[in-house]
Amino acid sequence: MGISEFVNDSRRILKLATKPSRKEMWMNTKVSILAMFLVGLLSYLIQVLMTIITGNWYGS
C-alpha cells in the first residue's frame, strides 16, 4: 500500500467520522468508569486471596 492510497483512505475515514453526541459521550464515560472499577476490584480480590494463601507459608 502506497502513501497516496493511505492518504486517500484516511481522508475517506475522516469524512465519515462524526462527533459523538452528549448522550453517546456520557455512555462511553460510564462504561469506562465501570470497567476501571471492575478491574480494580478484581485486582484487589486477587491480592487479598494471594495474601491469605501465601501468608500461612511464611508463618505469619
pLDDT of residue 59: 53
Q: Is residue 15 part of a domain?
A: no
pLDDT of residue 35: 98
pTM of the model: 0.61
Q: Is residue 57 part of a domain?
A: yes
Rounded CA gap, 50 and 3, in Å? Answer: 51
If you ran DSSP here, which 8-state letter would residue 8 be given? H
Task: Give the mean model confidence (pLDDT) for residues 4-18.
Answer: 92
Q: What is the tens place of the pLDDT at every residue in 15-41?
A: 998 889 999 999 999 999 999 999 999
Q: How many domains does the chain have?
A: 1
Q: Which domain holds residue 58?
A: 20-60
pLDDT of residue 2: 86
> At residue 10, does pLDDT exceed 90?
yes
Higher per-residue confidence, 55 vs 24: 24
